[in-house]
Structure 1
Amino acid sequence: MITVNTNTLGAQPGQSAPNMADLIAGRFGLFHAKEAPICDNLDNAIIGYMTITPDTKGNPQSGDFAYGQVQSIDSLGAGDDGKKVIPPVGGAKEWITQILLMADGSLYSRARVNANGFQPFIKRW
């Protein structure tokens, strides 16, 4: 039989337990618990998910359908705190891929390998 030690687990008397969704949402590439942050520039997005708008620099679309989500994936991970942003210059063994899911149903992707620049977006769908 397992006995739970209430002195160390869960909420302490007079203190609430932290909400795990609030602690990890949006970190390490996970979805955000609320609205995703708006991406100002696709070249320095957070590794994970962000919202893109017509004002997002580098957005391959314009107008009413220039809204969507970007997923940025880095071969070196999302950083120790889970909120790594894309560095201005890549390093050795660093591959970054971005996938854009747009309001009109289209899908764009691009990649950056090592210290090279990003390739142009390619419309996949």
Structure 2
Amino acid sequence: MITTNTNTLGAQGGQSTPSVPGLAELIAGRFGLLHAEDAPFCPDLDTAIVGYMTITPDTKGNPQSGDFAYGQVQTLDSLGAGNDGQKLIPPVGGAKEWITQILLMADGSLYSRSRVNANGFQPFIKRW
């Protein structure tokens, strides 16, 4: 038989109640996850926010052009998305930093590329 200690369940005297984040803040780009609203526009793929962003034909470095040059980019960084979830890709990588970008385009194609440590980005590879 399991006996619970009723002295430790629930709120304790002298403790402050933790603030509960709003749903949009919880699932938004704070942790590099999906945005509750429209994802921010990405002006340059080399300086994207770690997380999700929207790409258009005006996005610098977009491997497509024309009507199908719209989509989403997911940027993953081995060092995380920063304390506030708004980390930008640094101009020069550091030790043990691997950055991967995955592009999901309007025509259903998927592109990816990586950057390892202080090296530059590899060219985009069309996966399908």
**What band does the TM-score fall into relative to the shorter chain?**
0.7 to 0.9
Q: Could you say which residue in structure 2 is the equivalent of 1:42? A: 45
TM-score (norm 1): 0.86
Q: Distance in 2 between matches of 1:42 and 1:102?
A: 14
Specify the SS of the correspondent of 1:109: strand
- In the alignment, the residues of structure 1 paired with residue 18 and residue 94 of structure 2 have an alpha-carbon distance, to the nearest angstrom, of 42
What secondary structure, in the 3-state scheme, does the structure 1 residue paired with 2:67 have? helix
**Partner of residue 29, structure 2:** 26
Q: 2:85 aligns with which of 78, 82, 85?
A: 82
What's the offset of the Cα at 1:21? 2.3
Task: Note the alpha carbon deviations across 1:75-107, whole angstroms, 9 max, x for none.
Answer: 111111111010000000100000000000000
RMSD of Structure 2 on Structure 1 (CA): 1.9
Q: TM-score, normalised by structure 2?
A: 0.84
| Partners of 1:22 and 1:96 in 2: CA distance | 25
Identity %: 76
Number of the residue aligned with 1:73? 76
Distance in 2, Cα, partners of 1:113 & 1:83: 20
Which residue is 1:55 aligned to? 58
Q: Deviations 1:57-81 (Å, cap 9, x if unpaired)?
A: 0000000000000000001111111
In structure 1, C-alpha distance between the alignment counterparts of 2:10 and 2:125, rounded to whole Å:
57
Runs of 4+ in 1 over 3 A off after TM superposition: 1-5, 7-11
Shift of 1:37: 0.2
User: SS of the residue aligned with 2:93?
Assistant: coil
Q: Please give the alpha-carbon distance, in whole angstroms, between the structure 2 residues aligned to 1:56 and 1:95.
A: 22
1:120 counterpart residue number: 123
Distance in 2 (CA, whole Å) between partners of 1:90 and 1:40 is 20
Gaps of 5+ in 1: 12-16
Contact between 1:51 and 1:70, CA under 8 Å: does it hold in 2? yes
- Bigger radius of gyration: 2
